[in-house]
Amino acid sequence: MSRPAPRSATALYAASATFAAIGALLWIRDRTSAPPRVYSDYLAADRYTPSAWRVWSQAVPEERLGLYLIAAGLVLAVAARLITVRRS
- Tens of pLDDT, residues 2-28: 666 678 888 999 999 999 999 998 888
Instruction: Specify which residues 38 forms β-bridges with.
Output: 43
To the nearest 5 percent, what fractions of the chain are helix, strand and coil?
Answer: 60, 5, 35
Q: How far apart are CA 73 and CA 84, in angstroms?
A: 17
Give the residue, 78 or 34, on which the prediction is more confident.
Answer: 78
pTM of the model: 0.67
φ, ψ at 79 (rounded to 5°): -65, -40
Identity of the highest mean pLDDT range in 3-12, 27-36, 50-59? 3-12
How far is the C-alpha of 69 from the C-alpha of 59, rounded, in Å?
16
Distance (Å, whole) CA 61 – CA 52: 13
